[in-house]
């Protein structure tokens, strides 16, 4: 009887844990809890297949639960943004006078960016102000809600598009709540545009064999990128180098930089793959968010392939609003630098992100200038040996910038560069490979898969699509088993959760 009571108590604790937010273990796609919950979610989702409103309500509630498990009680911010932008879009639609329409969209900007500035930048800006006036500032204890940068930008795309008369506002609050909170992309993107997603909301639920197979392929590949490659090389090598760069030789630091370049790509593109794959299983299409970015032969091409939903958002709603390339070359170069400066700041309230953004902005401006000087046409791609060296130079420039992105302190970044350029010690490379052979085997595999021709990925996708249902299930089980075998003792949150 006593053993039964103890077992019952344990079960109650486990049941309570399902519904209570744990800051030490936020819910992520690669966690066992999510995989079990998603299996139950799919059953209910299919039962509501013919009842559109009930299905939308169920998914919206599950999305709020998912956000609560990721960020705690701050889910009320998601509700605030949803209700305010839904109403403001209606006010804009009913207003004919231009300055009044502008007033409503400015109010939307103030609410969304105001929330973003308070939770993300209050301490940063206050510290700068205190330094300027010669005072001191004690940082406030402000919790950064997961994904606030993503859902505020997503909601802003809706109000701005309504203001520009590119879309009509929704008439049903549930539909808009569904759009803003849709859990696959809620906490780490991709940033889904209203004009792309809203037309899909009330369509009859339909998942073709191609959609289902591609969704399974993306989920499996995303899990492999995140939970196998990214987490393993991070815990077992990259973190050690970046935490204490002066304890390691230059060759070890350089390999750590290459490791981080692969880690952040596999981590973020892995999340995007899973988000797009899960959405496909639910009958929704998202645009691609990563397109083999390290194959880029220029910084301009890199930003057409890396975090496409953010780079296109910055282009359409910031760069073009600043004037784009319509006001002369000098203004265009300045707009590029300003856009990337703000893009860097979007990633976090820290000078390292600002510097990272500025470096990319200057590189974009220099590339545009070079294109003009050499007479090359926009979008013209290089080939052969010129492309090879373009990819090599671009990759190493991006890796150089990752050093400042990863290190919170400028001095730590300089320590890494100093080790690389003054204490390289290439003779240690064989010992390094021998000591970390598992890490380097995964790094080699990760880069190999990244640089293979696109036709290989399409062939793999088609193979998964053609698999019978049992084959797809076996593939998922094998991948989950592999993740369990490779994972560390602690859950490794997605890197972009902090942004």
Residues annotated as catalytic are: 347
**How far is residue 376 from each of residues 338, 367, 379, 447, measured CA to CA in Å?**
24, 11, 9, 30
Contact, 279 vs 185, CB < 8 A? yes
User: What is the rounded distance in angstroms from the CA atom of residue 143 to the CA atom of residue 321?
Assistant: 31
Cα-based angle 188, 396, 495 (whole degrees, multiple of 5): 20
Q: Is 494 left (phi over 0), alpha (psi -120 to 50) or beta?
A: beta
Provide long-range contacts, Cβ within 8 A and 24+ apart, for 88-92.
Answer: 88/159, 89/158, 89/159, 89/162, 89/169, 89/170, 90/169, 92/159, 92/162, 92/163, 92/169
Those residues whose C-beta lies under 8 Å from the C-beta of residue 240, and which sit 6 or more positions away, are: 248, 256
Stated as kind and residue range, the H or E segment containing 48 is none
- Both tokens assigned to 424: 């390289």
User: What is the rounded distance in angstroms from the CA atom of residue 117 to the CA atom of residue 119?
Assistant: 6
Cα-based angle 457, 460, 466 (whole degrees, multiple of 5): 140
Burial grade of 158 (CB within 10 A; 0-12, 13-18, 19 or more): buried
Contact, 142 vs 118, CB < 8 A? yes
Coil, strand or helix at 297? coil
- Both tokens assigned to 495: 């890197």
Half-sphere exposure of 61 (CA within 13 A, CB side): 9
User: What is the rounded distance in angstroms from the CA atom of residue 415 to the CA atom of residue 398?
Assistant: 18
Contact, 357 vs 348, CB < 8 A? no
155: number of Cβ within 10 Å: 25
Distance of CA 369 to the CA centre of its chain: 30
User: What is the rounded distance in angstroms from the CA atom of residue 358 to the CA atom of residue 344?
Assistant: 7
Contact, 175 vs 201, CB < 8 A? yes
Distance of CA 465 to the CA centre of its chain: 26
**Full DSSP string of 166-213:** SSPPPS-HHHHHHHHH-GGGTTT-----HHHHHHHHTSPP---HHHHH
């Amino acid at each position: 009887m006593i053993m039964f009571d103890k077992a019952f108590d344990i079960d109650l604790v486990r049941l309570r844990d399902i519904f209570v937010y744990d800051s030490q273990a936020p819910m992520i796609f690669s966690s066992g809890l999510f995989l079990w919950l998603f299996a139950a979610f799919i059953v209910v989702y299919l039962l509501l297949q013919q009842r559109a409103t009930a299905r939308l309500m169920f998914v919206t509630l599950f999305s709020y639960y998912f956000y609560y498990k990721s960020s705690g009680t701050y889910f009320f911010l998601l509700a605030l943004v949803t209700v305010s932008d839904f109403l403001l879009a209606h006010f804009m639609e009913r207003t004919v006078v231009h300055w009044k329409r502008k007033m409503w969209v400015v109010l939307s900007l103030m609410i969304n960016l105001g929330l973003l500035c308070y939770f993300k930048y209050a301490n940063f800006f206050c510290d700068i102000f205190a330094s300027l006036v010669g005072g001191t500032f004690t940082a406030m204890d402000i919790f950064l809600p997961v994904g606030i940068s993503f859902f505020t930008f997503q909601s802003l795309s809706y109000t701005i598009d309504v203001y520009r008369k590119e879309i009509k506002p929704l008439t049903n609050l549930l539909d808009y709540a569904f759009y803003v909170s849709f859990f696959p992309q809620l906490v780490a993107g991709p940033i889904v545009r209203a004009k792309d997603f809203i037309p899909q909301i009330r369509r009859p639920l339909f998942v073709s064999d191609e959609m289902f197979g591609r969704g399974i392929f993306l989920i499996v590949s995303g899990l492999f990128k995140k939970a196998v490659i990214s987490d393993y090389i991070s815990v077992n090598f990259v973190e050690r180098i970046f935490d204490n760069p002066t304890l390691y030789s230059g060759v070890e630091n350089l390999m750590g930089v290459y490791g981080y370049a692969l880690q952040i790509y596999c981590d973020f593109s892995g999340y995007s793959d899973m988000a797009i794959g899960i959405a496909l299983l639910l009958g929704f299409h998202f645009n691609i968010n990563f397109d083999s970015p390290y194959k880029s032969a220029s910084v301009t091409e890199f930003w057409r392939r890396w975090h496409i939903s953010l780079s296109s958002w910055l282009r359409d709603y910031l760069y073009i609003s600043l004037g784009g390339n319509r006001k002369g070359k000098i203004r265009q170069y300045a707009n590029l630098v300003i856009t990337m400066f703000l893009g860097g700041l979007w990633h976090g309230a820290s000078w390292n992100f600002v510097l990272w953004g500025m470096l990319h902005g200057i590189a974009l401006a220099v590339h545009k200038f070079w294109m003009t000087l050499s007479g090359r046409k926009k979008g013209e791609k290089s080939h052969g040996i010129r492309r090879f060296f373009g990819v090599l130079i671009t990759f190493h420039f991006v890796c150089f910038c990752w050093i400042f992105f990863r290190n919170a302190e400028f001095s730590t970044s300089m320590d890494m560069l100093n080790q690389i350029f003054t204490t390289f010690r290439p003779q240690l490379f064989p010992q390094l490979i021998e000591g970390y052979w598992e890490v380097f085997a995964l790094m080699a595999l990760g880069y190999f898969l990244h640089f293979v021709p696109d036709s290989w990925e399409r062939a793999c996708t088609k193979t998964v699509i053609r698999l019978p249902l049992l084959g797809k299930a076996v593939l998922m089980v094998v991948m989950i088993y592999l993740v369990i075998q490779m994972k560390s003792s602690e859950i490794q949150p997605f890197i972009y959760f902090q942004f």
